[in-house]
Structure 1
């Protein structure tokens, strides 16, 4: 049992209708901040469980659940005398497969017969008279949420209760801490999943005896006697005791420890691991068909995150999992073919990615940097990255590319793998690469992206001239077609200029070329830091100009 599709209308950041088709198994939501990743998880969880922020949604109704622009338009319409109908939040959940025949019908926005559920926060018609009086005053300041009601109906137009919904979700947000004393999630899990009824009774009795001991302590008796003597006005006996509470009061008195340190005092990383692991093994997650994970990478070290991702992949492969993340490692490790890119209330997805297995195994690549930036410039190494950034600064009043949401990314020799990903998601990318004295070979390598196969948003930038010379390094001919000699050439082989930039004192261009070859990083860093005016090769300038 899984969700095939979800439609969200007017909920939080989603103005109007937003639609998302989901994979039966794993779904990885990525996108920049405020694009709606968390909102999607919240919408699914509300529709299936009725809980928002750990509380019943009926008790949490607020105009802040509604899209701000929609509320503003509505209030303006009321105050201008052209009142439009009160806005509503609608979440439609289309189920995949046979969930329950009683849920099948066509009461959905598509008017197709299928199994599904409709959750709605909408104006309740029984308040029409009161509402009309309010509207007639034309001075509305906020959404009249007191006239709203929460309802669940099947696509067969039948009202249902939360208890009766056949598909359940478990929401795990390790980045937030909503429990009261930092340990009730853990204690609740012990009570519900580990202890037998006899053990619960034993703990309760031990807790009661602890309270009895407190009350019977001689020092407490003496203190109470003094309080009684000092109480001259109150009609009755004032004394100090402990809250006897209910028979389950002991649950709130216990404190979880890790290595004898109370839960609230351990590091956030350890708290995150414990909370996520326990939540995943909790009965609610075990029984849920859908697991919702909010940024599992929060506060985790690389090794701990690796353990968590392995557990998710191995233990919950039979469930529908929806994860929001900003971590390239998480996305790579779980499979980029499962990635859903959210931007401007639209979804881009990768249906087939030949390099997916590569990124799983070599998961350190910053794939999400490529996916989430406005434009990426791909280079081979650190020295190329520094030079490209300097070239961009020289043309943009000293701004770094990242300040304009342009990310210069070193990808080693994996250009084609990143280009496959960029092509699948229609991303803006420029590649800066050396021709290494073999333009024909380079053009063959990038044949799918140049000339007649040129993509609208992908540009391969390289020098089309093969330079030659007589210099040798040892017994090997010097390569005149890499970054350093191309920069020298673009500046007319100006020895004086580069001696000044590099802090050297060479008299021949050959000696300068040798130094730059053997000190690539130092050379690039010196160029990046210099105040001298440097001319950059045309293929580099093409990359930073291309939009």
Structure 2
């Protein structure tokens, strides 16, 4: 059994309904900071366990769980003629796989009202039994935050049966190497090792050894002396007081054991190593009682390249039947696990590489440029490295010495693949500027980008004027409508001869710049001398 689809409403960064389909095996969630990657993992884990940040949510309700825009709209409506209903949070997991197990979860308690679906619903919503007190509170208009005292937490199967940690057929493990909070890793993992590898005879032997430790502790002369003093201290209690080892439950020995890695307690080892150990233990378990959904938050954090390679190798060769959902910023992780598994998330919008017409193209890319486009606040697409250097310098000159990347603007060289990158930008509504040559045919350029006209987050910049001249190189007419001649046109012959340390005529300088494109672009980028830029370049870098 696995999670086929997730739907989230009003939870943290997700405003109204958000939906994402998942693969049965590996899923790689890529997105910028604040895109909702961590929130997606939290929501899945919450719906499978009832736990958020290591605590049962029923006892930890907070207004900060609600989407801020939804909360603001609700509070602003208080005191108006038609106040909004108190907002709710809904998390739905649609399950697929084992038909027999799914039958028990089948029903219409889901937002789609489809009784043929199987899954789980976790909700935080207003409790109707408080209609009276809430109505009285509304009259006072004294509501400054979501009135959580009137809310209830509900956990259901789609069949309308109450869900519990025991009855939920999927178990999840959330592994977050970025967290500084110790997640009871030692006790949980040593217990798992004991359950899986020790037989009953060995369990009894360990239990008896633990009991002997208790007896030895009590008989120690120092402990005995302390207990006698405690017994004489009437101010503490009228009953006998002593200190000992906890043996209050039959498995107390399990809870008091500590996991060691190379003689170092588990929670003291590096977070990267913790991540690897936790992941391997979760993957190694074949039992249905253990985690069947593995949620991993940015595994590249705290891991060296070699350690990350080990971890990704473990995941990619895993045959335990786990569903793995990973969030990452790393192109290495994306490439290693396969772009077929890549889910691109941006501002609660989601798309997949394999769902694009340009899918084959992106599969052949190393992956880095794809992630750059998704992760940047804004991108400027150019044809080659020379264009990239000139755009960077133009931006720097116009913005007090700051490079574009300092303002979260990435200048990406894409060759002639502008349309493929624009398809991705259109799907995710990524702000993108194309800075391109007109190559002497403006009409062809306009036709090429017809499908992107009027899209407010996509801008196409080019020089609308076609330049001509008499220069011929070999048997081919010189193209006056590329970056280098446009730059020369915007400046003087004397300035560029000084810049490059040459003494050329106009035609010879055109030939020089054509034959040394990269060298000239590097000189422009690194020179103390500022130059003028064609208008289309200035349009491309405008904020």
TM-score of the aligned structures, taking structure 2 as reference length: 0.78
Correspondences of 1:114-193 after superposition (within 5 Å):
114-116=116-118, 117-179=120-182, 183-193=186-196
Distance in 1, Cα, partners of 2:4 & 2:184: 38
TM-fit CA distance, 1:407: 0.7
Question: Kindly tell me: are residues 135 and 352 of structure 1, through their superposed partners in 2, closer, same or farther at Cα, counting changes over 3 Å?
Answer: closer
Distance in 2, Cα, partners of 1:76 & 1:379: 45
> 1:535 is matched with which residue?
532
> 2:266 is matched with which residue?
263
TM-fit CA distance, 1:263: 2.9
TM-fit CA distance, 1:424: 6.4
> 1:385 is matched with which residue?
388
Question: Kindly tell me: are residues 371 and 465 of structure 1, through their superposed partners in 2, closer, same or farther at Cα, counting changes over 3 Å?
Answer: farther
Distance in 2, Cα, partners of 1:405 & 1:148: 40
Distance in 2, Cα, partners of 1:337 & 1:511: 50
> 2:58 is matched with which residue?
58
**Residues 123-142 of structure 1, C-alpha deviation per residue, up to 9 Å, x if partnerless?**
33344444445444442344
Correspondences of 1:44-443 after superposition (within 5 Å):
44-78=44-78, 84-96=84-96, 98=99, 99-116=101-118, 117-179=120-182, 183-221=186-224, 224=226, 227=229, 241-282=244-285, 287-315=290-318, 318-352=321-355, 363=366, 365-379=368-382, 384-396=387-399, 398-410=401-413, 427=430, 429=432
Question: Kindly tell me: are residues 349 and 62 of structure 1, through their superposed partners in 2, closer, same or farther at Cα, counting changes over 3 Å?
Answer: same
Question: Kindly tell me: are residues 148 and 282 of structure 1, through their superposed partners in 2, closer, same or farther at Cα, counting changes over 3 Å?
Answer: farther
TM-fit CA distance, 1:114: 1.9
Q: Secondary structure at the match of 2:493?
A: coil
TM-fit CA distance, 1:150: 2.4
Contact 1:272 1:298 (C-alpha < 8 Å) held by counterparts: no
Distance in 2, Cα, partners of 1:233 & 1:458: 79
Distance in 2, Cα, partners of 1:515 & 1:75: 66
Does residue 451 in structure 1 map to residue 453 in structure 2?
A: no
Contact 1:172 1:279 (C-alpha < 8 Å) held by counterparts: no
TM-fit CA distance, 1:285: 8.1
Distance in 2, Cα, partners of 1:140 & 1:419: 46
> 1:14 is matched with which residue?
14
Question: Kindly tell me: are residues 330 and 217 of structure 1, through their superposed partners in 2, closer, same or farther at Cα, counting changes over 3 Å?
Answer: same
Question: Kindly tell me: are residues 252 and 153 of structure 1, through their superposed partners in 2, closer, same or farther at Cα, counting changes over 3 Å?
Answer: closer
Distance in 2, Cα, partners of 1:226 & 1:191: 37
- Cα RMSD over matched residues? 4.5
Contact 1:12 1:65 (C-alpha < 8 Å) held by counterparts: yes
Tell me which moved more, 291-300 or 398-407. 398-407
Question: Kindly tell me: are residues 468 and 367 of structure 1, through their superposed partners in 2, closer, same or farther at Cα, counting changes over 3 Å?
Answer: farther
**Residues 35-94 of structure 1, C-alpha deviation per residue, up to 9 Å, x if partnerless?**
322222222222233222233332333333222333344445455686543332222333
Question: Kindly tell me: are residues 182 and 393 of structure 1, through their superposed partners in 2, closer, same or farther at Cα, counting changes over 3 Å?
Answer: same
Question: Kindly tell me: are residues 8 and 523 of structure 1, through their superposed partners in 2, closer, same or farther at Cα, counting changes over 3 Å?
Answer: same
Question: Kindly tell me: are residues 461 and 9 of structure 1, through their superposed partners in 2, closer, same or farther at Cα, counting changes over 3 Å?
Answer: same
Question: Kindly tell me: are residues 51 and 385 of structure 1, through their superposed partners in 2, closer, same or farther at Cα, counting changes over 3 Å?
Answer: same
Contact 1:48 1:162 (C-alpha < 8 Å) held by counterparts: yes
Q: Secondary structure at the match of 2:32?
A: coil
TM-fit CA distance, 1:534: 0.7
Contact 1:26 1:320 (C-alpha < 8 Å) held by counterparts: yes
Distance in 1, Cα, partners of 2:196 & 2:497: 71
**Residues 263-321 of structure 1, C-alpha deviation per residue, up to 9 Å, x if partnerless?**
33333322222233223334678855543332222222223223322322321584443
Q: Secondary structure at the match of 2:213?
A: helix
Distance in 2, Cα, partners of 1:17 & 1:141: 25
Contact 1:292 1:321 (C-alpha < 8 Å) held by counterparts: yes
How many residue pairs end up in the alignment? 530
Tell me which moved more, 82-91 or 519-528. 519-528
Question: Kindly tell me: are residues 32 and 82 of structure 1, through their superposed partners in 2, closer, same or farther at Cα, counting changes over 3 Å?
Answer: same
TM-fit CA distance, 1:408: 0.9
Contact 2:87 2:125 (C-alpha < 8 Å) held by counterparts: yes
TM-fit CA distance, 1:388: 1.6
Question: Kindly tell me: are residues 202 and 44 of structure 1, through their superposed partners in 2, closer, same or farther at Cα, counting changes over 3 Å?
Answer: same
TM-fit CA distance, 1:187: 1.7
TM-fit CA distance, 1:389: 0.6
Q: Secondary structure at the match of 2:296?
A: strand
**Residues 102-159 of structure 1, C-alpha deviation per residue, up to 9 Å, x if partnerless?**
4334443333332233332223334444444544444234433233222234444444
Distance in 2, Cα, partners of 1:333 & 1:145: 45
